[in-house]
């Protein structure tokens, strides 16, 4: 269930297939123009403008193109795509069909993470029903020459496969190792064909925008972060779960809504996001301030922030694809540093080196995993110095003598 604080839940107010019908009634370019006008940005975390992405893919000349739905949802603390796929699968498939029409693709693929295998049967049933209703297949909704179908392919347990080029590698039957970009998937994607890779929620949003118009969508949110967003809230709060909030909501407002007032810190954006201390709870969750794919993890005053950092670093060491050195070696070094901090045996010189290493990882890693994996640890060091550095200061003295 998704709890909405903006009135009735947006997704449940959309008339079924209204977006698809509207899209089929307009020229292809107008679909993208409407999306552009809405200024909707990708809901998967990176926040890339959807209209731009579709436009790039549409501009490519190719015999074949693909619409790919990223249902890999591996970011720690994120589970909203699971709920969207359970409660509004038609909206997601409708959004994919609209994308197919907009960019000129005949095939859609849902890349569903292995952990969500239990959702597959229900999704296949929904697809079958859509085929029966003429919403998929040849001449969608009787529209001559517009053929579109969707298949589901399962992931096999790798967080990095949520990265769009690793996802494509995985779809093609390879190890999930991210590619260099450029070329971007919109130019050279699945099987070398132009492909748009979009998050589950982004695709559902696209269907809503076509159904109700860009102006309606823009009436919520901020100027740079339009619309509402679905959040996954977990950790130390009274009412964890999936919520709809307008973008631009402050962390304090969000905490009040989920029963998390009094928290000591909030991790925004999952393990690859940043850790915001209580002093900064007036900051806004939006692409221009604290960006997020929707993961909110709340920490109560009693929590050991070093344990949090340690848990995240464990995760990254495990999930790094190992392709490039800054990430493969860097995350291991970070974890080692966190362990030493815990034991109180990290010297201040070593701490400085870790900070430099974090910078190197940010600059030199090939994909977003290595570029962001040190963020949480660094923001915990910065904001919870008293809690963490004290151990380093007092304990490291003997080692120096």
Partner 1 sequence: MLITERDKLSSEIGALADRLGRTRSSLIPMLQEVKRTHHVIDSFTMQIVADALEIHPVEVHSVASFYAFLGTEKQGEFVVRLCRTISCDLADKDAVARQLQTNLGIGFGSTTADGKFTLEWANCMGMCDQGPALLVNDRVFTRVTPEKVHEILADCRRSFGVFAPEHKEEHLV
Ligand X SMILES: Cc1cc2nc3c(=O)[nH]c(=O)nc-3n(C[C@H](O)[C@H](O)[C@H](O)COP(=O)(O)O)c2cc1C
**310-329 per-residue burial string, b: 16 or more CB within 10 A, e: under 16:** bebbebbbebbbebbebbee
Rounded to an integer, what distance in angstroms lies between the CA atom of residue 366 and that of residue 42? 21
Contacts with 124 (C-beta within 8 Å, 6 or more apart), sequence order: 152
Q: Of 167-175, 193-201, 230-238, 362-370, which segment contacts ligand SF4 by CB under 6 A? A: 362-370
Least spacing, CB of residue 156 vs partner 1, in Å: 4
Q: Is 135 in the site for ligand SF4 (CB under 6 A)?
A: no
Q: Is 77 in the site for ligand X (CB under 6 A)?
A: no
Q: Is 241 in the site for partner 1 (CB under 8 A)?
A: yes
Radius of gyration of the chain (CA): 22
Q: Is 327 in the site for ligand SF4 (CB under 6 A)?
A: yes
Least spacing, CB of residue 66 vs ligand X, in Å: 13
List 357, 367, 376, 378, residue binding ligand X (CB under 6 A): 367
Least spacing, CB of residue 321 vs ligand SF4, in Å: 3
List 11, 17, 42, 107, residue binding ligand X (CB under 6 A): 42
Of these partners, partner 1, ligand SF4, ligand X, none, which one is at the site of residue 42 (CB under 5 to 8 Å by kind)? Answer: ligand X
Cα dihedral sign, 205-208-210-216: negative
Neighbours of 277 (CB within 10 A): 17
Q: Is 56 in the site for ligand X (CB under 6 A)?
A: no
List 169, 188, 370, 384, residue binding ligand SF4 (CB under 6 A): 370
List 156, 386, 398, 400, residue binding partner 1 (CB under 8 A): 156
Q: Is 160 in the site for ligand SF4 (CB under 6 A)?
A: yes
Q: Which is nearer to partner 1, 157 or 262 (CB)?
A: 157
Least spacing, CB of residue 194 vs partner 1, in Å: 17
List 11, 54, 66, 79, residue binding partner 1 (CB under 8 A): 79
Rounded to an integer, what distance in angstroms lies between the CA atom of residue 231 and that of residue 38? 20
Q: Is 160 in the site for ligand X (CB under 6 A)?
A: yes
Cα dihedral sign, 66-72-77-78: positive
Distances (CA, A) of 386 to 198, 273, 308: 41, 22, 16
List 170, 188, 199, 383, residue binding partner 1 (CB under 8 A): 170
CA angle 365, 327, 230 (to 5 degrees): 80
List 101, 319, 375, 378, residue binding partner 1 (CB under 8 A): 319
In the chain, the N- to C-terminal Cα span, in Å, equals 59
Site string for partner 1, 245-284 (x = CB under 8 A): ----------------------x---x-------------
CA atoms within 13 A on the CB side of 151: 6
Rounded to an integer, what distance in angstroms lies between the CA atom of residue 137 and that of residue 5? 37
Phi, psi (rounded to 5 degrees) for 18: -60, -40
- Residues at the site binding ligand SF4, with contacts judged by CB under 6 A: 160, 178, 320-324, 327-328, 365-367, 369-370
């Amino acid at each position: 269930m998704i709890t909405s604080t903006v009135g009735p839940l947006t997704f449940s107010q959309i008339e079924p297939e209204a977006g698809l019908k509207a899209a089929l009634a307009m020229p292809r370019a107008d679909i993208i123009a409407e999306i552009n006008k809405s200024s909707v940005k990708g809901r998967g975390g990176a926040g890339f403008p959807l209209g731009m992405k579709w436009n790039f893919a549409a501009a490519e000349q190719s015999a074949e193109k693909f619409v790919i739905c990223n249902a890999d949802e591996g970011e720690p603390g994120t589970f909203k795509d699971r709920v969207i796929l359970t409660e509004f699968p038609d909206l997601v498939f409708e959004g994919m069909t609209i994308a197919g029409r907009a960019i000129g693709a005949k095939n859609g693929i849902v890349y569903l993470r292995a952990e969500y295998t239990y959702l597959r049967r229900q999704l296949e049933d929904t697809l079958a029903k859509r085929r029966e209703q003429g919403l998929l297949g040849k001449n969608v909704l009787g529209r001559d020459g517009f053929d579109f179908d969707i298949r589901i392919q399962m992931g096999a347990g790798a967080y990095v496969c949520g990265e769009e080029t690793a996802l494509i590698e995985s779809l093609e039957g390879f190890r999930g190792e991210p590619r260099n970009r450029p070329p971007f998937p919109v130019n050279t994607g699945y099987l070398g064909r132009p492909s748009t890779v979009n998050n589950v929620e982004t695709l559902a949003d696209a269907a809503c925008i076509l159904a109700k118009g860009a102006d309606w969508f823009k009436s919520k949110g901020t100027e740079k972060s339009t619309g509402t967003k679905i959040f996954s809230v977990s950790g130390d709060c009274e009412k964890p779960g999936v919520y709809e909030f307008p973008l631009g909501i402050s962390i304090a407002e969000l905490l009040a809504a989920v029963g998390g007032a009094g928290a000591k810190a909030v991790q925004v954006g999952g393990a690859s996001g940043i850790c915001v201390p209580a002093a900064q709870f007036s900051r806004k969750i939006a692409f221009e301030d604290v960006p997020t794919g929707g993961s909110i993890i709340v920490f109560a005053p009693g929590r050991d922030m070093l344990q949090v950092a340690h848990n995240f670093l464990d995760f990254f060491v495990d999930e790094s694809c190992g392709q490039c050195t800054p990430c493969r070696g860097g995350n291991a070094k970070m974890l080692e540093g966190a362990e030493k901090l815990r034991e109180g045996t990290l010297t201040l010189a070593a701490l400085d080196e870790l900070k430099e290493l974090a910078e190197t990882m940010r600059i030199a890693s090939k994909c977003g995993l290595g570029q962001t994996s040190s963020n949480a640890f660094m923001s915990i060091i910065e904001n919870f110095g008293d809690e963490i550095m004290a151990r380093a200061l007092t304990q490291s003295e003997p080692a120096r003598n």
